[in-house]
Amino acid sequence: MKTQNVEYLIIGGGPGGTPMAMALAAAGKSVLLVEKGPGLGGTCLFEGCIPSKIFRETARRLRELREASEFGLCLPTQDVVVNWSAVLERKRAILKRRSEAALQHTQQLPTLESHFGQCRLLSPRSAIINQEDGTELEIQFDKAILATGSTPFLPPIRGIDHPRVHDSESILNIDHIPEKLVIIGGGPIGVELGQVFNTLGSQITLLETSPRILRPVDEELAMRLQTRMQTDGINIISRCQVSGIIHSGQSVFVNYEDQHGNESHTIADTVLVVTGRRPNVEGLGLENTTVQHDPHGIKVDSKLQTDEAGLYAVGDVVGQPMFAHWATAQGLALARHLLGQAVAFPSADTNSAVIFSEPEIGIAGMTEQQAQQAGLNVAVARYDFQHDARAQIAGRDAGLLKIVFETGSRKVIGVHALVEGAGELMGEATLLVKAGLPIEAIAGAIHPHPTLTESFVMAVRGALAKAGSQVMTNDTNRK
């Protein structure tokens, strides 16, 4: 068995491990990156963010065709057929293109090696890689970073192991559009895929234990989206507990208990279980170290070091929040730290996220409810997109922007938007929260018209006027 010495071993070639490996190698460090999947990119690329958004894009194009007459377009037929095989082939091509590009980027760095296979720690300073070709490679390292991501969590429900029951990863390889789909879980993935398959023609029933969907999201925005989903024909059953899944021929019966304790069931041909994710620590060899972990993730300190000196962890394997961009931010911050550079590690209070629902929900910083629970005195600047020119032009004016700010300093601590295109607003939103800018800074910045971004100005103008502030701004009359 061959042995190799490196300065840094990085286990996991996803959005946390790959950028970090490249940053360290760019500084001249010897780095060995190990990925057990089919290519670099991790869950986000192969089983999460990217493939689900490819499905969403197909659904969006289909919806636009159905609404073409509203924009003065007369199509020869309204009977648009979805070629699902072509959708899957398009997904395969995009994933292949992105994975190959990532590998090519790593190959341009002479001190970075990428290996594919299963890696297991033998001790705090050594590991073994079972490579794709069947050979083994022992690695001696100075420091290691665990970036192994997470896997879908399946609750102990009777019948959940049937082939017609999918998790958030296997559903992305389904070879047909389900006729009737029951979704267990009303979080971001359940909401996104529920709306996608609803648009593609599936009859959707969504079962959720909480009183509403998207429990951590601003309540007002989540309830508006829930109403929209119900209007679109999605059956949402909240405050229920799934008790079992029974299979009979081509049908699947999902039994549940409602909020009053009454037993009921719903019927489908396919079931999707999206009840969260768990850090991927199995087979890592953590028992050969002093690294501590529990079902929520590997324990790390403020600089992402585990209980074993010289071993670090980033991304989903550390626990919440579980986002690709969060893993990248952690990985790059840790790389700078290891290189001896001054760095401020990411804070969850200034993180951003997008739920790719219809319409999208954009999140940056704290909600009004979270701020109040933290004992902060806050106010909210609001803007209804039904008054917005760009949203009206796009035919997507059902939405709301909420900017949460401290009443004393007027510092922005949260931005939350429900509107198609909310994801594109989160760059500015994150900068406002991260920099702690006051709402006067928004009012004083000239935003282009007609765009969704000017909603920020319109929201804070109202708040400043209500507070009796006098701020020199552009003419509010829009033509």
- Mean pLDDT across 32-56: 94
Instruction: Please state, in angstroms and rounded to a whole number, the distance separating the CA atoms of residues 62 and 154.
Output: 32
- Output the pLDDT for position 61: 96
> Tell me: the pLDDT tens digits for 214-225?
999 999 999 999
Residue 2: is its pLDDT beyond 70? Answer: yes
Residue 288: is its pLDDT beyond 70? Answer: yes
DSSP string, 17-57: HHHHHHHHHHTT--EEEEE-SSSTTHHHHHHSHHHHHHHHH
> Tell me: the pLDDT tens digits for 180-213?
999 999 999 999 999 999 999 999 999 999 999 9
Report residue 21's pLDDT band, with 50, 70 and 90 as the boundaries.
Answer: very high
Instruction: Please state, in angstroms and rounded to a whole number, the distance separating the CA atoms of residues 34 and 467.
Output: 56
Q: Which residues contact 329 (CB under 8 A, 6 or more apart)?
A: 346
Tell the residue number behind the tokens 């039904």, with chain if given.
Answer: 386
Q: Which of 192, 214, 215, 212 is nearest to 204 (CA)?
A: 192
DSSP character for 209? Answer: S
Mean pLDDT (the chain, rounded) = 95
Give yes or no for a contact between 398 and 385, defined as CB atoms under 8 angstroms apart. yes
- Output the pLDDT for position 469: 45
Q: Which residues contact 454 (CB under 8 A, 6 or more apart)?
A: 388, 390, 447, 448
Burial of 224 (0-12, 13-18, 19+ CB in 10 A): middle
Q: Which of 476, 421, 420, 470 is nearest to 446 (CA)?
A: 476
- Mean pLDDT across 385-409: 95
> Tell me: the pLDDT tens digits for 164-179?
999 999 999 999 999 9
- Output the pLDDT for position 215: 93
Q: Which of 144, 95, 148 is nearest to 277 (CA)?
A: 148
Instruction: Please state, in angstroms and rounded to a whole number, the distance separating the CA atoms of residues 271 and 267.
Output: 9
- Mean pLDDT across 255-260: 94
Residue 78: is its pLDDT beyond 90? Answer: no
- Output the pLDDT for position 477: 42
**Two structure tokens written together for 236:** 């949402």
Report residue 476's pLDDT band, with 50, 70 and 90 as the boundaries.
Answer: very low
> Tell me: the pLDDT tens digits for 300-355?
999 999 999 999 999 999 999 999 999 999 999 999 999 999 999 999 989 999 99
Residue 473 half-sphere exposure, CB side, CA atoms within 13 Å?
A: 23
Residue 473: is its pLDDT beyond 60? Answer: no
- Output the pLDDT for position 479: 40
Q: Which of 166, 227, 159, 169 is nearest to 202 (CA)?
A: 166
Instruction: Give per-residue burial for 75-95: e unless 16+ CB within 10 Å, then b.
Output: eeeeeeeeeeeebbeebeeeb
**Two structure tokens written together for 61:** 């194009």
> Tell me: the pLDDT tens digits for 109-151?
999 999 999 999 999 999 999 998 889 999 999 999 999 999 9
120: β partners = 128
Residue 107 half-sphere exposure, CB side, CA atoms within 13 Å?
A: 8
Instruction: Please state, in angstroms and rounded to a whole number, the distance separating the CA atoms of residues 412 and 443.
Output: 12
Q: Three-class SS of residue 232?
A: coil
Angle at 467 between CA 466 and CA 472, to 5 degrees: 90
Instruction: Please state, in angstroms and rounded to a whole number, the distance separating the CA atoms of residues 412 and 464.
Output: 13
- Output the pLDDT for position 155: 95
Above pLDDT 90, what percent of the chain? 92
Pairing of the two strands 165-166 and 180-184? unpaired
